[in-house]
């Protein structure tokens, strides 16, 4: 859950990750494919649809990197798999991710969200901490800023007032006397 939330990856992007895509020292993951999971015996990992979707994403905080490192050790002890998210050597299905979200939602006694909702929640957090819209676009792998603003623009409802606050007093310096 933490790994899905902190870098803001889509479910297919996360499920397609191989351990070779993760760089724990650099604290990044290379998003270069997505997961088309048909069934346990048939899955494909095509390249993302756009050039912008192929990107390197910083994992975020040190705790997320530590969690992924601990998962690497535990995962290697359980199963030999190149896939970051695998219980049996085969990549996890979207349904398995949803089961995890369901379990944690129940445990936390909060309303369940979709797996993709974790990505949206990540963006909400970024907007809440004042992150630049262009940085959010790059982090999510959107081809253009219109996609980002069209999807998340409603989360900026008070931006007009924030701008006004920044402008307040900008000309309060002493104004020279008018020419005579």
User: How far is 96 from 115, CA to CA, in rounded Å?
Assistant: 10
The answer to whether the beta carbons of residues 84 and 17 sit under 8 Å apart is yes
The residue ranges of every structural domain in the chain are: 2-167
Angle between helices 115-128 and 94-108 (to 10 degrees): 60
The answer to whether the beta carbons of residues 51 and 5 sit under 8 Å apart is no
pLDDT tens for the 180 residues of the chain, in order: 888 889 999 999 999 999 999 999 999 999 999 999 998 889 999 999 899 999 999 997 899 999 999 999 999 999 989 999 998 899 999 899 899 889 989 999 999 888 888 899 999 999 989 898 999 999 999 999 998 888 888 887 776 777 788 888 888 765 566 666
Whole-prediction pTM: 0.82
User: How far is 61 from 79, CA to CA, in rounded Å?
Assistant: 27
Residues facing residue 56 across a β-bridge? 30
User: How far is 68 from 72, CA to CA, in rounded Å?
Assistant: 6
Total length of the chain: 180
CATH number (1.10.645.10, 1.10.443.10, 3.40.190.10, 3.50.50.60) of 2-167 reads: 1.10.443.10
Task: Single out the residue of 92, 115, 116, 118 nearest to residue 16, CA to CA.
Answer: 92
SS3 content of the chain, % helix, strand, coil (to 5): 50, 10, 40
User: How far is 145 from 57, CA to CA, in rounded Å?
Assistant: 18
User: How far is 31 from 13, CA to CA, in rounded Å?
Assistant: 7
């Amino acid at each position: 859950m933490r790994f899905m939330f902190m870098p803001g990856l889509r479910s297919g992007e996360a499920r397609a990750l191989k351990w070779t895509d993760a760089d724990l020292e650099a604290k990044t993951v290379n998003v270069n494919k997505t997961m088309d999971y048909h069934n346990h015996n048939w899955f494909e990992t095509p390249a993302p649809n756009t050039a912008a979707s192929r990107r390197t994403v910083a994992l975020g905080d040190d705790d997320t990197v530590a969690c992924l490192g601990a998962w690497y050790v535990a995962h290697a002890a359980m199963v030999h798999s190149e896939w970051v998210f695998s219980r049996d050597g085969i990549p996890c299905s979207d349904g398995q991710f949803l089961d995890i979200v369901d379990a944690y939602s129940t445990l936390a006694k909060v309303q369940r969200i979709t797996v993709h909702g974790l990505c949206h929640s990540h963006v909400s957090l970024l907007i809440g901490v004042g992150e630049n819209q262009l940085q959010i676009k790059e982090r999510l792998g959107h081809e253009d800023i219109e996609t980002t603003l069209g999807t998340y623009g409603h989360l900026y409802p008070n931006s007009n007032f924030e701008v006004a606050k920044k402008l307040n007093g900008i000309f309060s310096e002493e104004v020279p006397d008018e020419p005579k």
